[in-house]
Chain A
């Protein structure tokens, strides 16, 4: 089924750990995005990609990195997690023909 998937859905880790949040979409969209969102709050763009081997930083300063080796896969990595990284992370892809973003279910990260 065409969809956008995020794993894990929930993650609790200790400070200093390296983590990777996975995002995959089976819709063939070129453009993908990572947002940080605290519950009921605004979305902050942290990374985006226009296609394979294309990655850019968004508005929100972040210690994370992303890669786009395959069209369907856009993982986000935190080299050393800190309590300030505690938040929800949303992945999205974009369908150009309708200018619509499709969002994943999110990963809720807690750093102790």
Chain B
């Protein structure tokens, strides 16, 4: 069974502070992990994928297989980063294409 845990329901920081949104996963195979973001009144959309190893809007995420984690980080938070963030895992065992989403973390960046 695959599982994604986002332990923080709410994360509140001030502008310019570092941000880390935690994501831990459970999966027996080799996972593919993603972060999705939902800004107020906008669609849920992909933020970044672990295999791309890219930085999007200043966010990065490293897959740590030893700790089974995929935490999302940004060194200096901006007010426009305020949104709901979802960690997602895609396990393709047995031809399944069912993603598992975490419960989400609401990030609020205060001015």
Q: Say if the beta carbon of B11 comes within 8 Å of chain A.
A: no
What's the A-B contact tally at a CB cutoff of 8 Å?
Answer: 41
Q: Interface residues of B toward A: which range?
A: 20 to 34
A94 to nearest B CB, angstroms? 6
* Chain A residues positioned under 8 Å from B46 (CB to CB): 100-101
Map CB proximity to B onto A18-48 as digits: 1 under 8 Å, 0 otherwise: 0000000000000100000000111101001
Interface residues of B in 53-111 (CB under 8 A from A): 84, 86, 88, 90, 97-99, 101-104, 106
* Chain B residues positioned under 8 Å from A96 (CB to CB): 97
B32 near A103 (CB under 8 angstroms)? no
Interchain CB contact (< 8 A) of A42 among B34, B45, B99, B102: B102
Q: Say if the beta carbon of B17 comes within 8 Å of chain A.
A: no
Which A residue's beta carbon lies closest to that of B45?
A103
Which A residue's beta carbon lies closest to that of B99?
A101
Interchain CB contact (< 8 A) of B43 among A31, A58, A104: A104
A40 near B104 (CB under 8 angstroms)? yes
Interchain CB contact (< 8 A) of B49 among A90, A98, A106: A98
Known A40-B84, A42-B103: A99·B90 in contact at CB below 8 Å: yes
Q: Say if the beta carbon of A75 comes within 8 Å of chain B.
A: no
Query: What CA separation (Å) do A99 and B48 show in the bound complex?
Result: 11
B49 near A99 (CB under 8 angstroms)? yes
A31 near B103 (CB under 8 angstroms)? no
* Chain B residues positioned under 8 Å from A103 (CB to CB): 43-45
Query: What CA separation (Å) do A92 and B97 show in the bound complex?
Result: 13
Query: What CA separation (Å) do A48 and B100 show in the bound complex?
Result: 13
B43 near A106 (CB under 8 angstroms)? yes
Residues of A within 8 A of B (CB): 31, 40-43, 45, 48, 50, 58, 90, 92, 94, 96, 98-101, 103-106
- Can you name 6 A-B residue pairings with CB atoms under 8 Å? A40-B84, A42-B104, A90-B44, A94-B97, A100-B49, A105-B43
